[in-house]
Amino acid sequence: MKFKKALPWLALLAVVAAGIHWFSLTQSQHSEAETGKDESPTQVEVSTIQRKTIGETLTAYGSVIAQPSRIQVVAVSFETCVSHILVAPGQAVRKGDPLVEIEPSVAAQLQLHQAMNAAAAAKRALEQTRSRFSLKLATNQDLDATQTAEIDTQLQLTSLQQAGLGTDNRVRSTLDGIVAKVDVQDGQIVATGGALVETIAADDIEVKLGIETEDVSLLKERTGITITPVQGGRTIQGRVRLITHRTNNDTRLVDVYVSLPRESGLLLDSYVSGSFQRIAEQALVVPRAALQSDEHGYCVFTVHDNKAVRQPVQPGIVSGGEIEVTGTGPRQGDTVVTVGSHELSDGDEVRTQTTGGAQDQ
């Protein structure tokens, strides 16, 4: 009886013992597998870090504009009313071609009539003074005063007439060039000295490019830039004339002005691209495949004594399948991993194979 009562307990103990044995065996196999995995070196392909000159082409965009310092503003020295605009922006004009038809305003016409009347009155006063002087009824002082008054009024009238008031209702171009801007509309009243039309010589145009702030340091005055019309056309070699030291509020780029050769043939306000070279001499260069990134930033893996060494770097110029890197760790001639680096951790054992070559031991 006692033996029969003990049978269930014996069976339970047997099951527990079997489970413990199975668990121990499984853990042992898993540990052996992990150990075998850790001991197996990672197969990678490698290349050599080189020091060389590397460059890339950067492209910026902008438009053709008139050089601000070369723009000629056409204006009149009296208040006027615009009768008719005869030209359009971008139109080629010759010296003497009419640009705008105008009429003096009521105030300007009154000014002209007053000047004419003053000149006529001064002339009559001079004639009377001369007659009186011949009769010994006027002094030399009287004669000098009337002569001065007559000259002043005549100069004022001549000035208004030379400005076109009452003589020519057309404002004409003062040069052979291009109409850069029309500042008025038909029927508009323009104050004395107000701009009517802006013109520029055909060769006094340039390009304004928007350059990324990090690329501005690559440019200097007289740096060559290749200009290409966006809508197609021949390329033109220009040179940097001015680099501004602020960002444009509209584009958030830095404005750079590029001078063009004479007779460039580019049209005002047309869109163009500008290309220039960014070059680094004696740079550390690795294959692009060697560059990796993780939570700590960019890096490459070099190989020393068959172990991977993580080297933090900063990427630079990209040219084809190569990239410039900077950092305190990598050196010219180091072996760098190009294939298999995404599987590596710092200190992992590796078995190397030169890219395109035979396996190393």
Show the domains of the chain with their CATH numbers: 42-54+281-354 (2.40.420.20), 58-67+205-280 (2.40.30.170), 68-201 (2.40.50.100)
CA angle 171, 175, 180 (to 5 degrees): 80
Q: Which residues pair with 59 in a beta bridge?
A: 275
Q: Judge contact between 352 and 308, C-beta under 8 A.
A: no
Helix (H) or strand (E) holding 315: strand 314-319
- Report which of 278, 277, 251, 262 is spatially closest to residue 63, judged by C-alpha positions: 251
SS3 299: strand
Q: Judge contact between 199 and 179, C-beta under 8 A.
A: yes
pLDDT tens series, the chain, 361 aa: 444 555 565 555 555 565 665 556 555 555 544 544 456 888 999 999 999 999 888 999 999 999 888 889 998 888 889 999 999 988 989 999 999 999 888 787 788 888 889 999 999 999 999 998 888 888 989 889 999 999 999 988 888 777 777 666 888 998 888 999 999 999 999 998 899 999 998 888 999 999 999 888 888 888 899 999 998 888 999 999 999 999 999 999 999 999 999 888 888 889 999 999 888 889 999 999 999 998 889 999 999 999 999 999 999 898 889 999 999 999 999 999 999 988 899 999 999 887 643 344 3
Residues near 240 by beta carbon (within 8 Å), at least 6 away in sequence: 219, 220, 221, 222, 223, 225, 256, 257, 258, 259
